[in-house]
Amino acid sequence: MVRISRSTVIDAPIGAVWEVLRDFNGHDRWHPAVRKSLLEDGRKTDQVGCVRNFDLESGDNIRERLLSLDDRTHSFRYTIVDADVPLLDYVSEVVLKPVTDGNKTFWRWTSSFRTPPGQEKHLEKLVAEGVYEAGFAAVRDRVVREKSGGFSQAPVQGEIKGQGIGIARYGDASELTVMPVTAPLPGRGEIRLRQTAIGVNFIDVYCRTGYFKLLTPPGVLGMEAVGTVVDVGPDVSHLRSGQRVGYACPPAGSYATVRTMDAALVVPLPEWLDDETAAAGLLKGITAEFLLHRVHAVQPGETVLVFAPAGGVGRMLCQWANRLGATVIGATSTPEKARIAQANGARHVILPGKKSLEDQVRDLTGGKGADVIYDAVGRDTFDHSVAALSTCGHLVSFGQASGDIGPRDIGALASRSATLSRPNYGDYTDTPDKVKASTDRLFDAIRRGIITVEIGQRFKLSDAASAHRALESRETTASTVLIPDEQWRDTV
């Protein structure tokens, strides 16, 4: 049995060091030996029993389980569950203690493990130097730099090359092609990112076809991604190198492994929210937030009709509206999607049948109709939505999956004193204050379990065309994410 114990003193308060270390899944953001780390089964980073699955820079994979975590004693224990490296029965403990002289932190890192005969010295050196000593140095550098105002550290020199997915001309999914991208040094107010997960949304389809002129070919698609800040330019004070961040905003360009962009609408991610979940939920969650709280503030007792309730935005609308006290009706196309809608808060679900959608809604509401309708389908459902409204009802037409609604006679709205809204995502997310208010509410709702972000499909970044085809054919449920090819694993 090999036993190793190493200790150090870091010139920073214990709270600053503990904030870094208690994130059991955050070591890929400070430890030089760790390339990528993900939590399994949707667990939280400080949840005892959670398993972090990570890759080393060497290419080896390790899975470790959190055995205990104590904020009072500033300590945690973990064990290796499975590893390519032959560290058998590995158990480790990290303990922090305050050093009152100078407000420093004492850190002890110990472990015990078995190894195959003949490998003891090699693996002891690997753990002692490659893991512990390197970890001490990395955390010391991070907390001391932040303590001294390290947000303005010097950028990495030179441009970073990467892979992107874009179009040379407007058209169908076959127009999506792999193209090289470069991330130049960040300028004033900019950051440079190495992206780890990318969200797929219907707005990307509209950009690809030219329906929305948010992208002029040739160019890279995408409005939503999560990654790690490589470096920051001048006048960026809310983000720092090594920080996990996300965004869901124009301009297009998120279908890429690296990117330099304006930092104003990029937000830090909570430590408990993993990259893929954030990439799957930011744009859809922000959309659900402003639809339910700002376009129409849903009240207890209202009847809410949600189209596409099994999709990414639809699920969140059902969950959140249900928690707000509304009676939710979902309108979808298959029994399978109906079951998904009901599992996410829809009390009733309407399917195509002998009766029209509006007749089914009136049957469910005693003839009254829906107080508010969230219609993401567009052309095929618009007239049915108007007919399904209650007196003084509110139709929120926020998508056009079946096509543009086209010119419409508003006389039918007047017959019910109805209100029609056509909200534009950009108008609700065009300032840092708006984005912060929206993401603060969204992150709180996710943390409290009011809404959940479910990933229904994952694709390699290079296979984005398949993701678009599945989305357009309505074969998807929940959210879809793209994973950079170099991070793709068979287990993803």
pLDDT in tens, 273-283: 999 999 999 99
Residue bearing tokens 């993993």: 274
Using the predicted structure, report yes or no on whether residue 108 has a pLDDT greater than 80: yes
- Residue 473 CA, chain-centre distance (Å), reads 24
Dihedral (Cα; 209, 215, 216, 219), 10-degree rounding: -100
Average pLDDT of the segment spanning 56-74: 92
- pLDDT category, 410, cuts 50, 70, 90? confident
CATH numbers and ranges of domains, the chain: 2-149 (3.30.530.20), 161-281+429-487 (3.90.180.10), 300-422 (3.40.50.720)
Asked if residue 397 lies in contact with residue 327, where contact means CB atoms within 8 angstroms, the answer is no
Helices 275-290 and 312-323, interaxial angle, to 10°? 60
State residue 474's pLDDT score: 83
Which helix (H) or strand (E) segment is 465 a member of? Answer: helix 464-472
Q: Is the backbone of residue 174 left (phi > 0), alpha (psi -120 to 50) or beta?
A: alpha
- pLDDT single digits (tens) 144-168: 665 544 444 445 557 899 999 999 9
Give per-residue pLDDT as tens, 236-260.
888 888 889 999 999 999 999 999 9
| pLDDT tens digits for range 316-341 | 999 999 999 999 999 999 999 999 99
Q: What gap in Å lies between CA 4 and CA 16, rounded to an integer? A: 25
What does pTM read for this prediction? 0.68
Q: Are 387 and 363 in contact (CB under 8 A)?
A: no
Task: Report whether pLDDT(102) > 80.
Answer: no
Average pLDDT over residues 182-196: 94
* pLDDT of amino acid 148: 47
**Residue 185 phi, psi dihedral angles, 5° rounding:** -55, 135
pLDDT band at 492 (very low <50, low <70, confident <90, very high): very low
